[in-house]
């Protein structure tokens, strides 16, 4: 090559580079005249195939990103890939310092400088923790739930994060499945309302604000129906259940403009969800018109090989992208295989363009192109995370999430002075378990324990005895955690301390890490020797208030029969102890209602309120041939929607605006709700329907409306709930929403075991 030629070549390359940078700058600039769509199109035009695929690739956080760059192994590959523009997103990197470091590589070292979107599992708070999502669902308080998500978003965003892998909207009927703690329970209607609230809370009105983050409805779809509640298991559900129970919360998320969805680990109809075109393309993108992007679950593209659906990573990548999975979390399938597939003509480049377009659009909407470091502000990070305001918000949410299951002889609320109270249970002085599962960013042991909360009320004489631990494990990732302790050596001491107490508060339940991902259980009673402890204390003192702290419905028959007062306190996050103490002492009157049925025993599972009638629903002739168990009642221990208050409520005067309706009419259902007790309180008034005859059989009851009503002692309010075709219709087996004329029953009451009913006819 002669000198002149080399010089021209260098000049040529320089010109291209300069042009590219200029072009890129123009694209990245705050060119207000251009729409996001136009900006994305211009950017896609200058991207190579590899760069577009890079946007579809997500890596987990790896080396100490603020330290020296890694030189070998997987970490080096990840680092190099970011530098080459082959990474579109990172997960689990957190904190302004770390986020800025990785963002800097993407923005300053790559050809196009496209910012990363930083994802994180913000499931129930970031550092300041709210109750676990199932507990929040028990509040039925949509405003509070939205607020809780917005607090979580503001803390995460202040820490450099711009995308949460939440909300988990998986409907589940199986408390053996550990991930029920992450969802909103068993009901699609309540679940959909809560989904909307959570998506709004995370995303706010304007995604480009520094205190909002993109949400991700997961896991699409059917994961909550893992067979026998066993984690990562197969799922076998009928189309009617899919359309009417599983999908509605996802649809609600899409209607609320959720920016992303995550697919799931399970298969559906024998096809892993990650490679399931029917779910991701036919329903989500085509039928619902979803224009955000779908991310795989962790390595779920690769796992299609284990499922026996793909023969290798190459085929797995092909199946996933064809099926509509836009981003690959930690499978290395897209980054390593997709370009080859496109070049061989096996995958149409249009699919890559579509996926990259979706991802880039969300990045633009977040404002990352305007300022890739906009979420990286140390001063904000310091001011927002753990602020007094956030602690107050999670305390408020925690109180609202508590469910009073039993209160015989008005044992609760506790007198504030003059009593000898013994507090018993390993979970009583635990400041870690009560934080619940899924709290990666929060500090261990940063919760207010229940004992600590109770100790703030100094009028009584308080004694604490552990009595028993729950498990032997210590951390989230060891199997040890599921090993329950067998150590009974401290029971005696606890019994002794209980003997001459006026009241015994027993704090029992599950360890926070006994629920969550990979925490399925086949026994749902009190783990370890806690039942033994409870019965031993009961022998000497029957004045027991049982405070349950757990992440799923438990089978507590004995307690339910014998213990006079039971409070379901779940795992309430950072402010657990203060919330429980305020409820026990009556400074807050509980109003929570169960979002999931409590079974009598494991054999009843799945047990849920919105079951079908069956052909033999009643024992008319007193024979045995009807749908029931011969060894246990068919009813649950505590039904869906159930929860008491320190006051009492009475429902009366159920009326409908007219009994014959047309499809377009709005039906006004009115009734009186009276506070008949001595305390001001709140009640979740619930409206259920039953479509008596339909082309596809309908459940015996379906929740279709509710209102959280505040009433002073003695006060009565007339409540109006509305029904439209939205509530009266259902999905047929083709997934089409239909409204069939006919007779409906309406039920109203304070739980799914309602007290009032009437009938209407839809013409």
Binding of ligand BGC at residue 250 (CB under 6 A)?
no
Nearer to ligand BGC, 121 or 328 (CB): 121
Classify residue 457 by burial, with Cβ atoms within 10 Å: 0-12, 13-18, 19+.
middle
Nearer to ligand BGC, 88 or 413 (CB): 88
- Cα-based distances in Å from 470 to 258, 482, 483, 763: 39, 10, 9, 57
The helix (run of H) or strand (run of E) holding residue 316 is helix 313-323
Nearer to ligand BGC, 517 or 525 (CB): 517
Q: Minimal distance in Å, beta carbon 218 to ligand BGC? A: 6
Give strand pairing partners of 720: 670
Closest CA to 721 of 698, 680, 749, 700: 749
Nearer to ligand BGC, 335 or 644 (CB): 335
Site pattern 696..725 for ligand BGC (x: CB under 6 A):
------------------------------
Nearer to ligand BGC, 301 or 760 (CB): 301
Q: Minimal distance in Å, beta carbon 93 to ligand BGC? A: 12
Q: Is the dihedral of CA 46, 50, 54, 55 positive or negative?
A: positive
Closest CA to 133 of 176, 191, 174: 191
Specify whether the CB–CB gap between 706 and 684 falls below 8 A: yes
Q: Minimal distance in Å, beta carbon 377 to ligand BGC? A: 25
Binding of ligand BGC at residue 298 (CB under 6 A)?
yes
Specify whether the CB–CB gap between 653 and 754 falls below 8 A: no
Site pattern 395..434 for ligand BGC (x: CB under 6 A):
----------------------------------------
Q: Which of 79, 163, 165, 640 lies at the binding interface for ligand BGC (CB under 6 A)?
A: 165
Q: Which of 121, 396, 431, 727 lies at the binding interface for ligand BGC (CB under 6 A)?
A: 121
Q: Is the dihedral of CA 604, 607, 609, 615 positive or negative?
A: negative
Nearer to ligand BGC, 120 or 464 (CB): 120
Instruction: Convert 592-624 to b/e letters by CB count within 10 Å (16 or more is b).
Output: bbbbbbbbbeeebbbbbbbbeeeeeeeeeeeee
Q: Minimal distance in Å, beta carbon 510 to ligand BGC? A: 20
Binding of ligand BGC at residue 94 (CB under 6 A)?
no
Nearer to ligand BGC, 404 or 435 (CB): 435
Cα 607 to Cα 601: distance, rounded to the nearest angstrom? 10
Nearer to ligand BGC, 262 or 366 (CB): 262
Nearer to ligand BGC, 482 or 751 (CB): 482
- Would you give the DSSP letter of residue 111? S
Question: At which residue do the structure tokens 């014959």 appear?
Answer: 660
Nearer to ligand BGC, 164 or 543 (CB): 164
Residue 605 backbone phi and psi in degrees, to 5: -80, 135
Percent of the chain that is helix, strand, coil (3-state, to 5): 35, 20, 45
Q: Which of 170, 297, 337, 691 lies at the binding interface for ligand BGC (CB under 6 A)?
A: 297
Q: Minimal distance in Å, beta carbon 220 to ligand BGC? A: 11
Cα 142 to Cα 196: distance, rounded to the nearest angstrom? 9
Q: Is 297 a catalytic residue?
A: yes
Q: Minimal distance in Å, beta carbon 314 to ligand BGC? A: 23
Cα 49 to Cα 474: distance, rounded to the nearest angstrom? 47
Q: Which of 94, 124, 173, 218 lies at the binding interface for ligand BGC (CB under 6 A)?
A: 218
Closest CA to 332 of 298, 293, 294, 357: 298
Q: Minimal distance in Å, beta carbon 269 to ligand BGC? A: 21
Q: At what angle do helices 491-499 and 530-540 cross, to 10 degrees?
A: 30
Q: Minimal distance in Å, beta carbon 305 to ligand BGC? A: 17
Q: Minimal distance in Å, beta carbon 164 to ligand BGC? A: 9
First to last CA, the chain: 87
Name the residue with the smallest CB distance to ligand BGC: 165
Cα 443 to Cα 392: distance, rounded to the nearest angstrom? 18
Cα 601 to Cα 399: distance, rounded to the nearest angstrom? 28
Q: Which of 517, 665, 707, 732 lies at the binding interface for ligand BGC (CB under 6 A)?
A: 517
The helix (run of H) or strand (run of E) holding residue 250 is helix 248-255
- Would you give the DSSP letter of residue 296? -
Nearer to ligand BGC, 262 or 687 (CB): 262
Q: Minimal distance in Å, beta carbon 758 to ligand BGC? A: 43
Specify whether the CB–CB gap between 61 and 93 falls below 8 A: yes
Question: At which residue do the structure tokens 């009938």 appear?
Answer: 759
Q: Minimal distance in Å, beta carbon 442 to ligand BGC? A: 15
Please count the residues of this chain forming the interface with ligand BGC, following the rule CB under 6 A.
6
- Would you give the DSSP letter of residue 443? P
What is the pairing mode between strands 681-691 and 702-711?
antiparallel
Cα 428 to Cα 674: distance, rounded to the nearest angstrom? 36
The 3-state DSSP class for residue 372 equals coil
- The single residue of 170, 187, 297, 469 carrying the catalytic annotation is 297
Write out the residues near ligand BGC by the rule CB under 6 A.
121, 165, 218, 297-298, 517
List the catalytic residues: 297
């Amino acid at each position: 090559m002669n000198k002149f030629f080399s010089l021209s070549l260098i000049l040529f390359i320089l010109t291209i580079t300069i042009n590219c940078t200029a072009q890129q700058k123009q694209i990245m600039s705050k060119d207000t005249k251009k729409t996001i769509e136009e900006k994305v199109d211009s950017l896609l035009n200058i991207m190579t195939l590899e760069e577009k695929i890079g946007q579809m690739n997500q890596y987990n956080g790896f080396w100490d990103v603020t330290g020296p760059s890694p030189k070998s192994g997987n970490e080096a590959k990840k680092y190099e890939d970011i530098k080459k523009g082959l990474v579109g997103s990172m997960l689990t990197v957190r904190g302004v310092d770390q986020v800025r470091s990785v963002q800097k590589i993407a923005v300053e070292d790559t050809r196009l400088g496209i910012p990363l979107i930083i994802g994180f599992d913000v499931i129930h708070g970031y550092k300041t923790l709210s109750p676990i999502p199932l507990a929040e669902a028990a509040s039925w308080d949509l405003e509070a739930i939205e607020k809780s998500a917005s607090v979580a978003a503001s803390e995460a965003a202040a820490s450099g994060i711009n995308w949460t892998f939440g909300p988990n909207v998986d409907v589940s009927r199986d408390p053996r499945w550990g991930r029920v703690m992450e969802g909103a329970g068993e009901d699609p209607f309540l679940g959909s309302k809560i989904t909307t609230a959570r998506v709004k809370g995370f995303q706010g009105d304007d995604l480009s604000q520094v205190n909002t983050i993109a949400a991700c409805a997961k896991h699409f779809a059917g994961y909550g129906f893992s067979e026998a509640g066993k984690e990562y298991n197969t799922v076998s559900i009928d189309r009617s259940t899919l359309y009417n129970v599983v999908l509605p919360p996802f649809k609600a998320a899409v209607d609320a403009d959720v920016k992303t969805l995550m697919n799931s680990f399970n298969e559906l109809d024998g096809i892993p969800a990650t490679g399931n075109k029917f779910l991701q393309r036919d329903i989500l993108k085509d039928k619902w018109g979803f224009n955000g992007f779908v991310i795989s679950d962790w390595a779920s593209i690769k796992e299609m090989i284990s499922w026996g659906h793909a023969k290798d990573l190459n085929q797995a990548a092909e199946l996933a992208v064809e099926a509509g999975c836009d981003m690959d979390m930690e499978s290395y399938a897209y980054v390593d295989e997709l370009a080859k597939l496109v070049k061989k003509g096996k995958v149409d480049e249009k699919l890559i363009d579509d996926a990259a377009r979706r991802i880039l659009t969300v990045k633009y909407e977040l404002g990352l192109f305007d300022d890739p470091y906009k979420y990286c502000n140390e001063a904000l990070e310091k001011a927002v995370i753990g602020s007094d305001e956030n602690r107050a918000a999670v305390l408020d949410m925690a109180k609202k999430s508590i469910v009073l299951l039993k209160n015989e002889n008005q044992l609760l609320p506790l007198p504030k002075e003059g009593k000898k109270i013994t507090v018993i249970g390993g979970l009583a002085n635990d400041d870690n378990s009560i934080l619940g599962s899924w709290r990666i960013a929060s500090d261990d042991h940063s919760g207010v324990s229940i004992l600590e909360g109770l100790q703030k009320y100094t009028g009584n004489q308080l004694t604490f005895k552990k009595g028993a631990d729950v498990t032997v494990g210590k951390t989230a990732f060891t199997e040890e955690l599921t090993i329950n302790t067998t150590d009974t050596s401290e029971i005696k001491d606890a019994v002794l301390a209980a003997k001459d107490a006026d009241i015994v508060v027993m704090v029992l339940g599950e360890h926070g890490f006994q629920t969550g991902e990979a925490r399925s259980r086949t026994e749902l009673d009190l783990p370890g020797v806690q039942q033994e402890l409870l019965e031993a204390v009961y022998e000497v003192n029957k004045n027991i208030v049982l405070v349950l702290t757990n992440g799923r419905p438990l089978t507590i028959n004995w307690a339910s029969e014998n213990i006079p007062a039971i409070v379901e306190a779940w795992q309430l996050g950072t402010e657990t102890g203060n919330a429980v103490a305020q409820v026990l002492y009556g400074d807050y009157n509980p109003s929570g209602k169960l979002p999931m049925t409590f079974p009598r025993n494991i054999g009843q599972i799945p047990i849920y309120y919105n079951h079908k009638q069956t052909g033999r629903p009643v024992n008319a002739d007193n024979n045995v041939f009807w749908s029931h168990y011969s060894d246990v009642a068919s009813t649950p221990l505590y039904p869906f929607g159930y929860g008491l208050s320190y006051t009492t409520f009475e429902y009366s005067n159920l009326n409908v605006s007219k009994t014959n309706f047309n499809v377009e009419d709005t039906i006004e259902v009115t009734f009186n709700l009276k506070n008949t007790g001595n305390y001001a309180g709140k009640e979740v008034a619930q409206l259920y329907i039953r479509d008596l005859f339909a082309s596809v059989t309908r459940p015996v009851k379906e929740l279709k409306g509710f209102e959280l009503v505040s009433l002073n002692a003695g006060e009565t309010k007339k409540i109006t709930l509305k029904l439209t075709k939205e509530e009266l219709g259902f999905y047929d087996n083709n997934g089409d929403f239909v409204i069939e004329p006919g007779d409906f029953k309406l039920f109203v009451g304070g739980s799914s075991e309602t007290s009032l009913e009437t009938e209407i006819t839809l013409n």
